[in-house]
Amino acid sequence: MASLELISSAKSFGGHQQRYRHASDVLNCSMNVSVFVPPQAEQDTPLPVVYWLSGLTCTDENFVTKAGAARVAAELGLIVVAPDTSPRGDDVADDESYDLGQGAGFYLNATQAPWHSHYRMYDYIVDELPGLINQTFNCLPKAGLAGHSMGGHGALTLGLSNLQKYTSISAFSPIVNPIDCPWGQKAFNAYLGENEAEWELYDACCLLQQQGQFMQLPILIDQGLDDDFYQSQKLTRPFEHVAKQMNYPAIVNYHPGYDHSYFFIASFIESHLRFHHKYLLEQR
């Protein structure tokens, strides 16, 4: 396995906000990942980890610079890992639109040309990246998984598909039913082709119906009601409906006046980190 190469580090709230580069065998390109390392890392104790998955058009740096998570992560002793949202590079397939190609990996394993040779974000987030993080840092075995928008879709689908790897899932304004919204239909047609049975493997509503009966991970979702995409992309609400039908104890909060931006995330990121911290510590 390749190793993480440190490319920048800045002290923050007693810890360090760091950025790494590594060669990805899964994505067949070089990748960047941002990691907040809390001051407790100086002690010889395994630390809890939260993976943050960002949304369309983002890189690994958007969350770091806009969410304001470092203060609480430092207090709680959380390692926070923020990967990029897709493979990147001159040889990586791309599209002129913002919602397909580089910056829009959708946290799935593409099966269609020209995407299939690089776009395997599912395997990257679930297996390859945690292997590198655990190799580099002293981590507890299971992680928390969080995300926003497309990244909220990723957090829900990856978490529900890998119940033994995660302690908890949270999302801001997630795409929850991509087989029935414009963003998801465009991406799934391109990356997965026309076989809609494959689409269901990456749809949080379908996965909740299939996996929620076997094991229930704690789930927290926050949704702004002034979000421009709340209605047009059918965010959050379909998932809540399925959870209620199944008596699945997901926590879903709606917030008047909040939109889809990082101002919304920054307003509630503390509650998400404390939510994950509670369940992460149960491993000790």
Domains of the chain: 5-283 (3.40.50.1820)
More confident of the two residues 198 and 2: 198
Look at residue 213 in the predicted model and tell me its pLDDT: 72
Confidence of residue 1 (pLDDT cuts 50, 70, 90): low
Mean pLDDT across the chain: 97
Look at residue 284 in the predicted model and tell me its pLDDT: 75
Under 8 Å between Cβ of 171 and 155: yes
Supply the residues annotated as catalytic.
149, 227, 260
**SS3 label, residue 145:** strand
- The label of the residue with tokens 């829009």 reads 104
Q: Letter for the amino acid at 239?
A: F
> Quick one: DSSP state of residue 77?
T
Measured CA to CA in angstroms, residue 235 lies from 225, 250, 273 at distances of 10, 15, 22
Look at residue 234 in the predicted model and tell me its pLDDT: 98
- Outline where DSSP puts E strands in the chain: 5-12, 15-24, 29-37, 49-53, 79-83, 143-148, 166-172, 219-224, 251-255
The tokens describing 29, both together, are: 């390109």
* pTM for the full predicted model: 0.97
- The 10s digit of each residue's pLDDT in 208-241 is 998 777 778 999 999 999 999 999 999 999 999 9
- The label of the residue with tokens 């911290």 reads 277
Confidence of residue 243 (pLDDT cuts 50, 70, 90): very high
